A and B are shown apart, each in its own frame.
Chain A
Amino acid sequence: MWLKILKNLISRKEAIRFYKSKTQTLKTLTDENPGSQIDVERSADQAPSHEEQNTLFSGKEKMNRVFGKSLKIRQVDSGSCNACEWECTALTNPIYDIQRFGIDFVASPRHADVLLVTGPVSRQMELALKKTHLAMPRPKIVIACGDCAIDGGIFRGSYAVKDGVSNAIPVNFQIPGCPPSPTVITEKLLKLMERI
């Protein structure tokens, strides 16, 4: 049948009917297996509950379905001291070479699967962070990288910070350390991708 369509041997109407029948069977297949589908329709403003956060992206199959074997990261500094940024930069050097795992940093949030946020979220940066988060296509993962991104760290309690990324946008994953070394970041990212 496919060959016939390709060689224009059957009429257009027939071809469309064939397509429709195929897509319908595909749909029924996924309906029987609702568990394998990821919740892609979640609104950005609806924060998932804690339990949901843990189950949202679990399972190697789901990760592979959604992202294949690659992960594109958009890094945003929300007021860190710049140490975490240098460790992220170090990930792309010839020693760590994180690209060999299919992980890379991208320039635009529109190309990103993951938003990696460093810093305790300074209030003057909060709006820019939220806008970056909104600009990302769904499904999106948010990683809080570094101690101050997790709970404010040493800056906790200052008037100008929000005490952690989770107070501004929903967080799915945390990487502790001040700053976390490139080895730790690589390990955590691979764990997130269910590769190790």
Chain B
Amino acid sequence: MPENEEYKEVGKSEFRSYCIALCLSKKAVLRLMFATDERETDNCFKIYAVFSEQGTDIFHIPFFKLREDDLTFRSITDGIPAAHWYEREIMDMFGLVPKYHPDPRRLVFHDSFPADSHPLRKDWEISEKDLKEWGEGMVRKVPYDFLEVEGEGVYEIPVGPVHAGIIEPGHFRISAVGETILYLETRMFYTHKGIEKHFEGMSFHEGVKLAERVSGTSTFSHSTAYCMAVERMAGITITEKAKAIRTFLLELERLYNHIGDIGFLCAGTGLTVGNATGSKIKERLLRLNDRLTKSRFLRGINTIGGVTKDIFLHADDISLTIDTVAKEYKGLMKLLLGSVSHIERLENAGILSKNRALKLGVTGIAAKASGIDDDIRSSHPHLIYNKIFEPATFTRQEGDVFARMMARAEETKCSMHMIKTIIEGQHEGDLQVKADDIPPNSHALGYTETPRGSVFYWVKSDGEGRPLRVKLRSPSFCNWPSVPFAIQGNIVPDLPLCNKSFNLSYSGCNM
């Protein structure tokens, strides 16, 4: 078991008070909460919560057992609001019911999915008829009640799931008075593909491919976190060179995402030249990806035990491209910060307060823009980040769209600097180490920082060394619940702008 994971079994009734005490006394943050079906070995379900303590590289992981005679547990959402979606997800996927949950509606499954059907249970089966009805969506088996705002002059704008642009599907209901948004209700999980269940049907080595396809623009971070989890579980230490290549590609991924996002924000304010410049620079970086790895989205590089290609052979190409990008990026920022009409739209739009962000467990760019120094690269150093990463000092206090853009800009600078440092350094070792033996009945956590925030994988193997449970948590899953709070009180035309500033993945969230 990896050193920085501290598991502790607590009683079912003490779980809630234990978690709350952890949050209060050690200023711990809830990173992840999930259930497992271990009825075959331990004759029970288990619910785990992963907390990371601030200031030290330790994950506190309290868990408790649930016997089949009583499948309810006391919800912790009233004490730790960040657990809100996790508990609803556990309810849908395992049928374990959080008692006194403030919002006990379904999260993952839509109305036509049969009641009392929970896919992540090991003995789960579904009939062809139910599957067909689920797809047709005509029979509403468990109706979902949207929250409605009542009052004089309140009207509702339903949007989606098919939107006007080239984006992913999601349903929004905007309750507004005049131009001002009173409340935004989101209905997600249109792109639910059953990825966690699908992992269980593959071997750990095949799973890398699936992890790469959880969220398109965070391909490399997801596969790194997954490989890291499996390697930690199997006790494999990868070489310095593989670590350096992974770190390098993580930063390259961050770079193309952030520059693309900064440019994409301009599409929300109608500054076409900014959008065009941003997408031009992004394209330059994607082509660099293609030359380095034969994949524009960095697929097929990660493997359990290391990486498949030595990208440092292209060091000249890399430094030349990064120099050009740095120059063009400087021009883009000069253009954007000099456009008063653009900046005025961004300032004071979509404010997410620090207090709310803390309570909801927001991560990544959104957290940094709201004054929270949340970066798993500095709080839990992995790969070669402890050598090259300077602890983040670029948090901003405003929490608005502009702050999120500037947080991206600061990270971009930081990434460019790190990329140069890695290329200049010497990295010894082979690309891969042997990783054939996966130990049975063991588990571990893998994590890294995607362009959107921290990503977590928790893997557990069964008696034959195949996956028993793979839990993934993309940053979008914990950031989506904060979007309605940020949008409250803004005008309707600013909604796409606020949404773009978070730039969350639907696919990563819906799994």
Q: Hey, which bits of chain A sit against chain B, CB under 8 A?
A: 75-90, 93-95, 105, 107-109, 119-120, 122-128, 132, 148, 153-155, 157-162, 168, 178-179, 181
Contacts and interface: CB of A to CB of B under 8 A. Distances in A.
Interface stretch (B129-137, B150-158, B236-244, B336-344): B129-137
Contact of A77 (B164, B169, B192): B169
A178 B299 contact: yes
A130 B137 CA distance: 11
Majority secondary structure of chain B interface residues (helix, strand, loop or mixed) = loop
Given A93-B283, A126-B135, A127-B135, A75 B166 contact: yes
Given A81-B216, A86-B216, A158 B162 contact: no
B506 interface: yes
A81 B280 contact: no
A131 B463 CA distance: 46
Given A83-B219, A107-B164, A154 B135 contact: no
B506 A89 contact: no
Contact of B215 (A81, A108, A127): A81
A81 B135 contact: no
Contact of B216 (A80, A124, A181): A80
B135 A162 contact: yes
Contacts of A95: 279-280, 283
A155 B216 contact: no
Interface string B118-137: 01000000100001001111
Interface in B286-317: 286, 290, 296-297, 299
A125 B169 contact: yes
B209 interface: yes
A77 B136 contact: no
Nearest to B300: A178
Nearest to B280: A94
A87 B286 CA distance: 10
A128 B162 contact: yes
Nearest to A125: B190
B173 interface: no
Interface of B: 109-110, 119, 126, 131, 134-138, 161-162, 164-169, 189-195, 197-198, 201, 209-210, 213-217, 219, 276, 279-280, 282-283, 286, 290, 296-297, 299, 505-508
B204 to A, nearest CB: 15
Given A154-B213, A158-B197, A179-B297, A82 B505 contact: yes
Given A77-B169, A93-B279, A126-B137, A83 B194 contact: no
B321 to A, nearest CB: 15
A128 B161 contact: yes
B167 to A, nearest CB: 7
B197 A159 contact: yes
Given A124-B189, A128-B161, 20 more contacts: A79-B193, A80-B168, A81-B215, A82-B168, A82-B216, A83-B213, A83-B216, A89-B166, A89-B279, A93-B282, A119-B191, A122-B193, A123-B134, A125-B169, A127-B135, A127-B136, A127-B137, A132-B162, A161-B193, A162-B135
A108 B190 contact: no
A-B interface, 8 closest residue pairs, ranked by CB to CB distance from nearest: A83-B216, A160-B194, A82-B216, A93-B279, A107-B164, A127-B137, A79-B191, A81-B216
A77 B137 contact: no
Contacts of A161: 193-194
A194 to B, nearest CB: 25
A115 B297 CA distance: 24
A168 B134 CA distance: 13
Q: Which of A86, A94, A95, A162 has most B Cβ within 10 Å?
A: A86
Nearest to B160: A128
Q: Which of B110, B168, B201, B296 has most A Cβ within 10 Å?
A: B168
A182 to B, nearest CB: 8
9 contacts: A75-B166, A86-B216, A93-B276, A123-B135, A124-B192, A125-B161, A155-B198, A158-B195, A161-B193
